[in-house]
Amino acid sequence: MEKLSIEDMAVFCKRKGFVYPNSEIYGGFSGFWDFGHLGVELKNNIKNEWWNYHVTQREDIVGIDGSIITHPKVWEASGHVANFTDLMLTTKKTKTKIRADQFIEEKLNIAADGLTSEEINKLIKKHKLKHNGEDIEELKDFNLMFETSVGPDKGQTAFLRPETAQLIFTDFRLVVDNARLKLPFGIAQIGKGFRNEISPRDFLFRCREFDMMEIEYFVHPDKDECPLIREVLNYELNFYSAEMQEKGKKPLIMKVKDALRRNMISEWHAYWLAVEQKWFTDLGAKSENFRVRQHLKKEKSHYALDTWDLEYNFPFGWKELEGIANRTDFDLQQHMQASGKDLRIYDEETKDKIIPHVIAEPSLGVERAFLVFMFDAYVYDKKRNNVVLKLNPKLAPVKVAVFPLVSNKPQLTKKAIEVYSNLKKYFNVFYDESGSIGRRYARQDEIGTPLCITIDFDSIKKNDVTIRDRNSTKQIRVKIKDLGHKIWEYMNGVKFEKLGKTILK
């Protein structure tokens, strides 16, 4: 089936109450989006699932929640004031601003990430490139951090954070001491990030305000073997190393152990890429839409020794979904120097003070994850002549819908409202009595509700209900008293058919 375009996805999300253009009544505000009554549920579920998998279920990672505005010196020390820039083109006549690498990519169909201003200038001259018939006037660095001021009158200039990561470094000693962390360990955070993108585009893919889910994973500077690698040795990834890209080769699907044997990737990088892709696929994303691509030298951020991206095959091509950088001790060193504070930790084994290295920084935007789950769940079902959003039950905004078979029989509606009110204490449940049963099923299929419960005349006599499965449309009969734990089992991976006796449709 052909993938939905990003524009069609934006239309679907708006029509169904997932995502709205921000301040649409004033014409919208480029790069900003609002989440509707279903979108906020899906977004919260993504964040909760991420936290559960990366923090709650692990023994080696704890979380923090740092503030959005922080001391301006943080961003000087981290290098963001000097280096967090994109090259921007300005056109001669209308003074239109365009992101230079995107302009080159679109005009010449080549990868332009990381090109220097000289290289871009040369290409513009060589190919006599114009934008909508206009000449390019100027090419300059543009810092992506939003400025604000803190305190009365003009106050002190500060920045909205462009990444959550720096708060992990500035709080590092406090977290390590209070949580009594021992290497290797991680510190995780979910929160808003802000980037004054030159050209926000592709719906939620590139926005100016977004949520980030980040981990700084610290190891001993002299120990680069990964004690957890055994967990992922047989996991398959679609590898695309820098060497493969330089030699014009295609990406290759192989097991982690084979990539390690070929010295293509470090153990820690392979471990984190596998763990991250698994998080997506366990929640229903399709593994064939993922690949892992190493950054070329010129693409790497100012702080990174090596970076691999988890990429996803978006309708507009393979793009970064999540970056995993080896930041070494760059940030802790910078903050030690700038603050004059000792951020080293005591190593029991060597009885020495050391500066741990960030061997991997898995960093993922919630909005990009949102798109992945929506694209991989969206199916147009010809037989049903309807969209079926096959979201994993853990992510689905509404878990269960409850219907009386007909709405004009008080004994049915009374029983249905009773079932609905009981389940609502534990799950996000929706009650609907309007329209035919078929129409009510179709409305729930479109928004991804995995289970629909119908109360009929037998329910009054036998205290049982029909549950219908979104994906297969199969139906089973279940006692009302068992509903709570059956739904819970289903949410936690038990197959629909195992929940009760199948009945004819």
Rounded Cα distance, 346 and 355, in Å: 9
Minimal distance, residue 301 CB to ligand GAP, in Å: 7
422: tokens are 């009981």
Minimal distance, residue 371 CB to ligand GAP, in Å: 9
| Interface with ligand GAP in residues 212-241 (CB under 6 A) | 212, 214
Task: Tell me if the bond preceding 200 is cis, omega within 30° of 0.
Answer: no
| Binding piece for ligand GAP, criterion CB under 6 A, among 47-55, 362-370, 422-430, 462-470 | 362-370
Residue 484: burial class (beta carbons within 10 Å; 0-12, 13-18, 19+):
middle
User: 475-504 mask for ligand GAP (x: CB under 6 A)?
Assistant: ------------------------------
Residue nearest to ligand GAP (CB): 365
| Binding piece for ligand GAP, criterion CB under 6 A, among 209-217, 281-289, 412-420, 497-505 | 209-217
The binder of ligand GAP chosen from 49, 197, 331, 445 (CB under 6 A) = 197
Q: How many residues bind ligand GAP (CB under 6 A)?
A: 19
Rounded Cα distance, 341 and 358, in Å: 19
348 three-state secondary structure: coil
The binder of ligand GAP chosen from 101, 163, 331, 469 (CB under 6 A) = 163
Minimal distance, residue 216 CB to ligand GAP, in Å: 9
Amino acid letter at 453? Answer: I
Ordered DSSP codes for 247-316:
TTPPPEEEEHHHHHHTT-S-HHHHHHHHHHHHHHHHTT--GGGEEEEEPPGGG--TT-SEEEEEEEEETT
Q: Is 167 a binder of ligand GAP (CB under 6 A)?
A: no
Based on CB atoms, which residue is closest to ligand GAP, 195 or 468?
Answer: 195
The binder of ligand GAP chosen from 206, 269, 399, 486 (CB under 6 A) = 206
| Helical packing angle, 39-51 and 366-377, nearest 10° | 110
Q: Is 269 a binder of ligand GAP (CB under 6 A)?
A: no
Minimal distance, residue 320 CB to ligand GAP, in Å: 5
Based on CB atoms, which residue is closest to ligand GAP, 145 or 452?
Answer: 145
Based on CB atoms, which residue is closest to ligand GAP, 74 or 423?
Answer: 74
Residue 48: burial class (beta carbons within 10 Å; 0-12, 13-18, 19+):
middle
Q: Is 186 a binder of ligand GAP (CB under 6 A)?
A: no
Based on CB atoms, which residue is closest to ligand GAP, 33 or 403?
Answer: 33
405 with 437: CB under 8 angstroms?
A: yes
| Binding piece for ligand GAP, criterion CB under 6 A, among 88-96, 218-226, 365-373, 405-413 | 365-373
CA R_g for the chain: 26
Based on CB atoms, which residue is closest to ligand GAP, 6 or 478?
Answer: 6
The binder of ligand GAP chosen from 102, 266, 294, 363 (CB under 6 A) = 363
Rounded Cα distance, 361 and 366, in Å: 16
185: tokens are 């360990």
364 with 326: CB under 8 angstroms?
A: no
Q: Any idea which residue has 């910078």 for tokens?
A: 334
Q: Is 101 a binder of ligand GAP (CB under 6 A)?
A: no
DSSP label at residue 325: E
414: tokens are 């009374």
* Alpha carbon of residue 353 to chain centroid: 36
165 with 363: CB under 8 angstroms?
A: yes
Q: Evaluate the CA torsion angle 476, 482, 483, 487 in order and state its sign.
A: negative
Q: For the chain, how far is it from start to end, CA to CA, in angstroms?
A: 27
Based on CB atoms, which residue is closest to ligand GAP, 395 or 419?
Answer: 395
Based on CB atoms, which residue is closest to ligand GAP, 210 or 403?
Answer: 210
| Helical packing angle, 410-424 and 483-491, nearest 10° | 50
449 three-state secondary structure: coil
Q: Is 320 a binder of ligand GAP (CB under 6 A)?
A: yes
| Binding piece for ligand GAP, criterion CB under 6 A, among 86-94, 206-214, 412-420, 433-441 | 206-214
Among 361, 280, 366, residue whose Cα is nearest residue 324: 361
| Binding piece for ligand GAP, criterion CB under 6 A, among 102-110, 318-326, 344-352, 400-408 | 318-326
The binder of ligand GAP chosen from 101, 322, 376, 432 (CB under 6 A) = 322
The binder of ligand GAP chosen from 43, 80, 357, 368 (CB under 6 A) = 368
The binder of ligand GAP chosen from 46, 123, 207, 467 (CB under 6 A) = 207
94: tokens are 């209308």
| Binding piece for ligand GAP, criterion CB under 6 A, among 113-121, 130-138, 359-367, 391-399 | 359-367
Give residues in contact with ligand GAP (CB under 6 A): 163, 165, 195, 197, 206-207, 210, 212, 214, 320-323, 361, 363-365, 367-368
